[in-house]
Structure 1
């Protein structure tokens, strides 16, 4: 334990599997909490065998369960169930991600747990929430973002939805919202209040953060995939292919940044063609100018454009591959990445906790 971390002394019982719950409890562990991950005596967390396996456990499992103490309990067994209830008495948080009603069937529902520990914070992460018409339905990230209207907007120029390799439903909808709810409930307890049950619906959370399409709907016109302000509808906020088949990310959303970008491109005549000066988002001029910029960026390589834009503070940057990001000075200076070399297993990478705390 690190006494300087803010959650030092907080004990968390983690009954979750796969991605959302384990990431939430990993962050709690990173912030100093003692996290006890409890798995069934058989296969345990399904993540153990997902993807490349080293030393009988997958790198996926290793990546999302750092800093936790592992334990095996069969919650269908009366003695093991009583052992968990005894642990609840000294715990601050319990996190689970079963389908709604499973904990009640096991004799471990909220009414039972809060009798054993009135100060307990219990967080239940599910796809569609603890109640409602979809509560008992199975789902994965692709389903949650599909129902919430996010996947429809995450589309290319052809309008076909593109699957992001950042699991928005699992990580924003599940992990981050669970973390938010748990920490808020812990603050209430520390201020003298009773424990709380935190109901996290991954689909609800994605919908709640689907803000730009909501703005468009409230403005009287639904956002067109690939044609909204932040999804490809303006040339000043877009990605452009370079001569070597790589991409530059142009985030010159504000007029001052766009004007700086035009200077680097050697096209000061384009400075007035910007959405803040009346260019219609997703309109003909915006799309025509996007094509014009595509032709300009295609004349140089990624390295050449990166060098050209380096002195200009106008929000234009290279689109890095993962292996390039891991080696980038930005993250090295922040201590975000550690490289480990194993004599028998080769090289592996580990990422640090991104939130810093200073006494």
Structure 2
């Protein structure tokens, strides 16, 4: 995107009352698309994420990754002055994002019904674990709890029946941040068409069911509810497995379709295993024994010449150096501290055509640094969010 072209969310002001991951990731995506995001934080330390380790530029690197390009304003929302300053900003806001348990914002005088009186066309997005209503709505929970409650965790069980800890925060991201962003954009589009403001109820647990579309379809249509290790993508077929190599590395093998499965078996010298329907466990053991005869590098060279959905399991530090992702400039965007030092920024699913130029490292805010600009509207100078130093490293 050229600097002369406005970003799609230019002129949209977002007040972000959220902390940790789901809300901040949502507002990060809005900021990357040009929105002005004002992060409302507690005066006594701000967002809890600031206290995490390791550190970068005096703050937690987690905070830096999730909050670049935003402004920070510290307000004690339990005090009349803090609420008054927040309400003054609401009059100028397009979107509010909050992540408290149901009822907390209402007690603070900042609920949707209260703010709608000040700004009738306000889009008010609430992100919670289980939604604004229902028996679980006020139950404390984290990502692991959402996965357990929705049936997702049960499908990760190993041979002993013990569920495995997911290595990605699927509920916070796929169930929280992404649906919140999508619905905010839909609400803005609806408002542009004359539909006015609205309240968005985003429940992270609800969003996890979407990730299990195949299990829901099988269960509702045929009564075939997924079992750990027993279904198409949970280990029930030799065509979708992780196999150990001779040097104790691993291959991700996913030739699900017949054409890929045939080519895979031809490549490993076992075409006789094509019919895996009668004894899938036996075929899996045969394939596992063959994969154990070579090192990972040898298999990688072989499958580089046969396109059958097989690759080596890479560690994260290997993955970020892969020529494919480097060639797509996935880590070309950078986050900077106030001294101009920078590191690769968190990739977000906002297309490059909508984002600010990648060559400009973007700062994350120091706690309450926007207080000096507070004049009722909080004038936003984009230069304060962009690291001006061309020499960041």
TM-score (norm 2): 0.84
Residues in 2 aligned to 1:309 and 1:347: alpha-carbon distance in whole angstroms: 37
Among candidates 351, 356, 361, match of residue 356 of structure 1:
351
- After TM superposition, list the pairs within 5 Å mapping 1:271-350 onto structure 2: 271-273=274-276, 279=277, 285-338=279-332, 348-350=343-345
Question: 1:327 deviation in Å?
Answer: 0.4
- After TM superposition, list the pairs within 5 Å mapping 1:29-178 onto structure 2: 29-178=31-180
Aligned residues: 349
Map Cα deviations across residues 148-189 of structure 1 (whole Å, 9 max, x no partner). Answer: 000001222332111112111111111111112211111111
Residues in 2 aligned to 1:124 and 1:356: alpha-carbon distance in whole angstroms: 25
- For 1:233, what is the secondary structure of its paired residue? coil
The reply on whether 1:203 has 2:197 as its aligned counterpart is: no
- For 1:327, what is the secondary structure of its paired residue? coil
Among candidates 226, 229, 232, match of residue 229 of structure 1:
232
Map Cα deviations across residues 219-258 of structure 1 (whole Å, 9 max, x no partner). Answer: 1232210111011111111111111111111111111111
- For 2:224, what is the secondary structure of its paired residue? coil
Residues in 2 aligned to 1:193 and 1:341: alpha-carbon distance in whole angstroms: 39
Could you say if the C-alpha distance between residues 4 and 241 of structure 1 is closer, same or farther in structure 2, counting changes exceeding 3 Å? farther
Could you say if the C-alpha distance between residues 351 and 330 of structure 1 is closer, same or farther in structure 2, counting changes exceeding 3 Å? farther
Question: 1:4 deviation in Å?
Answer: 4.1
Contact 1:340–1:348, Cα closer than 8 Å, also in 2: yes
The reply on whether 1:238 has 2:273 as its aligned counterpart is: no
Q: Report the aligned-residue RMSD.
A: 2.3
Map Cα deviations across residues 254-294 of structure 1 (whole Å, 9 max, x no partner). Answer: 11111121122122222333xxxxx16xxxx1111111111
Contact 2:68–2:335, Cα closer than 8 Å, also in 1: no
Question: 1:348 deviation in Å?
Answer: 4.7
Residues in 2 aligned to 1:154 and 1:9: alpha-carbon distance in whole angstroms: 44
Contact 2:64–2:335, Cα closer than 8 Å, also in 1: no
Could you say if the C-alpha distance between residues 161 and 347 of structure 1 is closer, same or farther in structure 2, counting changes exceeding 3 Å? farther
Residues in 2 aligned to 1:4 and 1:70: alpha-carbon distance in whole angstroms: 24
- For 1:134, what is the secondary structure of its paired residue? coil
Map Cα deviations across residues 195-239 of structure 1 (whole Å, 9 max, x no partner). Answer: 010001111121343222223322123221011101111111111
Residues in 2 aligned to 1:11 and 1:87: alpha-carbon distance in whole angstroms: 9
Residues in 1 aligned to 2:343 and 2:229: alpha-carbon distance in whole angstroms: 36
Residues in 2 aligned to 1:240 and 1:177: alpha-carbon distance in whole angstroms: 34
Contact 2:335–2:344, Cα closer than 8 Å, also in 1: yes
Residues in 1 aligned to 2:228 and 2:20: alpha-carbon distance in whole angstroms: 30
Residues in 2 aligned to 1:196 and 1:304: alpha-carbon distance in whole angstroms: 57
Residues in 2 aligned to 1:301 and 1:34: alpha-carbon distance in whole angstroms: 51
Residues in 2 aligned to 1:264 and 1:6: alpha-carbon distance in whole angstroms: 48
Which segments of 5 or more consecutive residues in structure 1 lack a partner in the other structure? 274-278
Residues in 1 aligned to 2:161 and 2:218: alpha-carbon distance in whole angstroms: 17
